[in-house]
Amino acid sequence: MARNRRPASRALAAPDRAAEAVIARCRAEVEPVWKRRLRALLLPTLRRRTGAAEIGEGFQWDRRRPPVFGVGSRIGRYAYLGGGFSATGPIVVADLCMVAADCQIVGADHRTDLIGTPTRLGWPEGERPVTTFELDAWVGQRVTIVEGVTIGAGAVVGSGSVVTRDVAPYTIVAGVPARVIRERFAADDAAAHEASIRRDGAPIAIGGT
């Protein structure tokens, strides 16, 4: 079994960061002070159990079905991973990202192109790809995502979708496989929203197919 343990990706990028004013709103609006303080006490234990490199302030999870993800993963502030979330490899989850229950990240864990080697023994080589959820993305229930995909900032993924490729920022996708349904905002509105919630930094490209 040891031969099938692909090494985790190293030096994962930091999660997208929200503006401090937005984080301050989260502190005031997401949950009462007593629950926020209790959650802060539990976060170090969760970090140790999962091997995460970072779990940010206000992270929420289902304690009955805690998330599973690769060692070294990084999770930002006021992110949410629903019950049953599972990823064999590493993930980067930005501030304010929400992933509903039973989301599965699936990887190409066996090669099928090696002549003379059965699929059962076709171990992939190299580090596992990183699956990334950018700032303010929202993923619905029972979504399946291929390992290594990026869900762009502000994107929305409909429940039950199968995501096989990157999702552009501020697009709404759904289906099997997931396809663009529409843009979340008009281009000017998306840019204004982005400017109001993102910590100062380089602007991102809005929209796309």
Q: Among residues 88, 11, 22, 23, which one has the least CA distance to residue 54?
A: 11
Give me the residues paired with residue 174 across strands: 179
- Alpha-carbon span 147 to 104, nearest angstrom: 9
Give me the helices (H) in the chain, please.
20-29, 33-50, 187-197
Query: Out of 27, 36, 65, 110, which one is annotated catalytic?
Result: 110
Sign of CA pseudo-dihedral 62, 153, 41, 48: positive
- Annotation says 193 is catalytic: no
CB 54 within 8 Å of CB 93: no
DSSP string, 68-115: B--TT-EE-TT-EE-TT-EESS-EEE-TT-EE-TT-EEE---S-S--T
Give catalytic residue positions: 110
